Each structure stands twice: as structure tokens, then as C-alpha cells.
Amino acid sequence: MEAEVIMKHKFMRKMMAAVLATTVMLTGCGSTESGNTNTTANNTETVAQNDGNADAKDPVLFDGKDTEIVMYFPGGNSNPTDLHEVEDSLNTLLADRMDGHIKIQILEWGAYADQYNLMLSSGEEAGLIFAPSGRYRTYASKGQLTPITDLYEKYAPTAATEMSKYIEACYYGDDLYGLPTFRNMAQGTGFVCRKDLLDETGISIDDVKTWDDVEKVLIAVQEKHPDMDLLCNSLVKMGILDGIVNNSFDEIQSGVGQVYGGDSSKVVNIYATDKFKEICDMAYDWNQKGYFMKDATTNADARTSLIAAGNTFGYIVGTMYPGFLTQETSSCGYEMVGAYIGDAVLSTYNAGAHQWLGPAACPSPEKALTVLEMLYSDPAAQNLFYYGIEGKDYVVKDEANGLIGYPDGVDSSTVGWSNQTWITGNGSIAYVWETEDPDVWQELKEFNDNAVLSPLYGFSYDSSNVTNEITAITNVEEKYLTILKCGAADVDSTLDQFLAELETAGIQNVIDDVQTQMDSWNASQK
């Protein structure tokens, strides 16, 4: 059945391309998470060279050239102590797979976006680049990426199989340019708070199922701690109710999309919907009642820092998933508990948000994919890339359950290597950090599988016809969205002005363009 579905997707994609060609001008070109499934985490043997990879005698891979595959990705430290040892160990595992080697280049988070934008626009040679936040469409439209459409199933077969559901959402036009990393592909809206303060109220987190229930909690905590900030920004420079907005709409492009549960045949200005106004009204009401931190619109501190400082109760997130609360507890310095509010959703954007891409100047797309295949299929490689060197950066604490932790005398501030699961490829084949549930990765897979699927899942929008409008709309969004989602302005007057400026910016042109492409895509699915 699965094979039939995949074949149907491929046929439909070809049909979509034929339909789109008549209507659309395409410009494409030729928080530390951890976890695993126990059955694979303890297997530290290198995957055999013919298992899950291209034939070892493939002349493309074994061409006698020591091809350098430079891997660019973000991190908090551009030169960790054990970088070269990790690099050398990965190259030892890679040696039987191809002629070539990996070179790791970590770019610090603050400069990462600017640096990889410059690298791609200048045509600098690179093997692989990790691109967060769904930026692959922009790069593909500018001819800055190498398509892997006809290569990935041969040179990264494990990734192709394991990630098939999500790869379908990562195309731009009729071409694929990268492979998504396994993580919380779905998004769940949640209320997260300090357990010690919640316990004081006598309310169980298990009884919190609606936003009315959340308000009852806020009222109870406010009575006991009247000077405390009850809710802070989940993300810096974003509205306090940003997570609710994100998971209420399938936003296709700059304020244009659909309301989950609404008319799936039409795209709309999501800011003009009753649902968006309802969220803004709630934000204004809650802010007036004193539930929001006082400087929410200008706050530049991370939520974890605010909680750790001791005068903030909780926050609302749009990224709840199995393992999230363990991560937050570790980062906040207090035990954090949380409740899902509503269903988790899986959209095209979420599935393709984080990918490993091949730049246009990739020296060998086949060898770059072979590197990725190793990270998606070989537990030994994944443990290296994720956790670093065994005995130095981590030690096995519970072999039976595949649990690891820091060696004696090592902590997060002194460890010689660290990485993020949503960067490493397929962390589900690696060990699990000792603070996690041993079954966290199976739970995450089930979370993704059970999420509500967007009716537009797999639809990829080409925005090249309305680039000027999108720039103008983005500028208007920056002016109004944060204050509305922080309840810092009268909703009726502010929303009216917001919508008027969006019309001036050309949002109707974007709506019409998206609608045309969506209609063609829907027709291709029948």
C-alpha cells in the first residue's frame, strides 16, 4: 500500500508540473533534543558499505578523487574542542562508502543567516548546507541549489524510505533540492508553566484542556503571586499568543493561507478572518487583566532566561511535542509541565522547515547524498555527529535502554561537542539522553503520524510573481503583528489599520496568485 501511495504521489507530481507549466512561471534550477528507539540506539556497528547506500563500486563515488564535502550548519560555538576528532571519526566511517571526506564548518547562530545567504549568492563551493525556516524555496527560485530529484533514492535510500512522507512536502515545483531532518514534523500548541507554582493552586495540569482552563490557572497564580509575570514571549520579538496564531492557520505565504477546519478550496487573508480577530481579542483581554509581562512588545530575553530568573510563571508555545518538556525543564532550571490545547497539525511548511541542501556549487551531489545517507542510517555516525566522542563528550549510563549522560566532571558548559537533533539528520537511531524517556523517539513518530494533516499538504507555492508585494506585506506585518499578539493595542482600530495597509501593500495580488497555483495543484491530485 505504501509503495502504491508513493507511486501515486510521483505520478501526480508529474501531472502537476504539466498543469502548472501553463499557468505559472517557475524559476527553479538544474533547544537540545535527544532520543531514540532502543532497538537501534545500541548498535554502534557501521552500516555495511552495500547496505543502505549506492553500490560500493559505483564509479561516481569511487572515482579516485578525494572530494571534500564541506558541511555548513549553525551552532553556539564555531570551534568546539572536539570538532576535529569528531570530523576525523566521521571520515573513518565514510571511507568505505566513497572517495572523499567531510569538512565541518560551524557558523554561530547570530551570523548564520547572513553568512549562508552570502555563500549561496556568491556561488562559493560547498557540499551541504543546513537551512532552517523553510528558506529552500527562496534559494531554489534563484538557481542557488542543485536538484537531487533523480539522485536521492539511489544515493540516500534509507533517508528516502524513512522520510518519504515528509519529502513529498519539500519539493519546489517539480524538483527536490534537499532532505528534511527528522524532528517534530507536526506542531502542537501548548501551555507550559512551572510545576511548583501550579501545585500551589491545587489544579492538575491534566485538567487543563482549553484556553478557559488556562485562564483559571492564571487567575489562581495571580492571586498568590500578584507581582509575578504570568506569561512571557515564547520567542523573542514575537507575540505572546504567536503559537496560537501559527497553529490556527496554514499560512502559505505572508498572511495568505487557510484556516484549519475552514474552506479548503479557498485561500484568504488570514488576518481578515474571524479566527485571527478572536485571538487578538483574547490577547487584548488577557493583557488588560495583567496576565502578560509588562514589556512583552520589546522583550529581548529568551523564555528560558526569564523563567530561570524566578519571576515568570509560563508561556504559550506552538511547538509542543514529546520530549519538549524535558528540554524546557533542563533549560529553565525549574520543573516545567504543559498541556496540549487542541490538535497537533502537519503542514507543508512544518515538514520542510529544516533541510540539508546541496548548493549549486556542490562538487558532487552524489557524494553529498552519501554523507547524508550515513547520518540517516548508521547509529555510530549519528552518535558522533549528535553527541561527539564517547568517553569524552558522553558516556553510556544505561546500555539496556540506550541512555547516555555527561562523563564525570563534564557539563553543558565544558563539553567538547554538542549538536541539535533537528540538525543532525535522523537522531532517532542514536542514543537517548538520560533525562529523556527511553521511548521518546517512538512517541515522537506517533505524534507526527497522528497529527491533523493540512488539506494543502504537499502544495509548494512559487512566489516569484509577487516578490515586491511580499516585501511590502512583510514590512506591514512587522509593524502590527507583535502588538496585536501581545494585546498591546485596541483591536478594532488597530486591526482595521493593519488590514488597510495590507491591501495597499498588494495582499490581494498574492491571494490571487496563490489561488491560481492552488487550483492547478488541486486539479492534479484528482
Q: Report the alpha-carbon distance of residue 164 to residue 167 in Å, rounded.
A: 5
Q: Which residue has the higher pLDDT, 453 or 201?
A: 201
pLDDT tens sequence across 310-344: 999 999 999 899 989 988 998 898 999 999 999 99
pLDDT category at 308 given cuts 50, 70, 90 is very high
> Sheet containing 355-357: which strands, arranged edge to edge?
100-108, 67-75, 128-131, 355-357, 178-180
Prediction pTM value: 0.79
DSSP letters, 484-507, are HHTT-S-HHHHHHHHHHHHHHHTH
Q: What is the domain partition of the chain in residue ranges?
A: 31-185+350-452, 241-291+465-526
First-last CA distance in the chain: 18
pLDDT tens-place string over residues 444-462: 999 999 999 898 898 888 8
∠ CA 451-355-164, rounded to 5°: 50
Residue carrying the nine cell digits 507549466 = 21
Instruction: Compute the average pLDDT of residues 273-286.
Output: 97
More confident: 70 or 461: 70
Domain 31-185+350-452: CATH superfamily, name plus number: Periplasmic binding protein-like II (3.40.190.10)
Residue 241, sorted as left (phi over 0), alpha (psi -120 to 50) or beta, turns out to be alpha
* pLDDT band of 17, cuts 50, 70, 90: very low
